[in-house]
Amino acid sequence: MTAFTAEEKLKCAERELKLRLQVYPRFVENGRFSKEKSDREIALMSAIVEDYRALAQKDTLFDLANK
């Protein structure tokens, strides 16, 4: 299995969040998602982005400290 860095996971989560922000309003309009579900799923991905942002920052600081 390939190991991914926190930075790589952050970039992927950011892309997913951007996609959700673009697509989920249409899901609500089409009745595929409720507004509540859309808001929750976007908030969840936003939290994941913030978690990985913090991890990526720690990794960067750790790398700088060990140089």
Domain range holding 44? Answer: 6-65
- Quickly state the pLDDT bin for 62 (edges 50, 70, 90): low
Chain-centre distance of CA 62, in angstroms?
22
In a domain, 1, yes or no: no
What confidence score (pLDDT) does residue 29 get? 98
Q: Which two tokens stand for residue 33?
A: 């998602």
In a domain, 35, yes or no: yes
Whole-angstrom Cα distance, residue 35 to residue 50? 22
In a domain, 60, yes or no: yes
**In the chain, how many domains are there?**
1
What confidence score (pLDDT) does residue 63 get? 60
Q: What is the pTM of this model?
A: 0.82
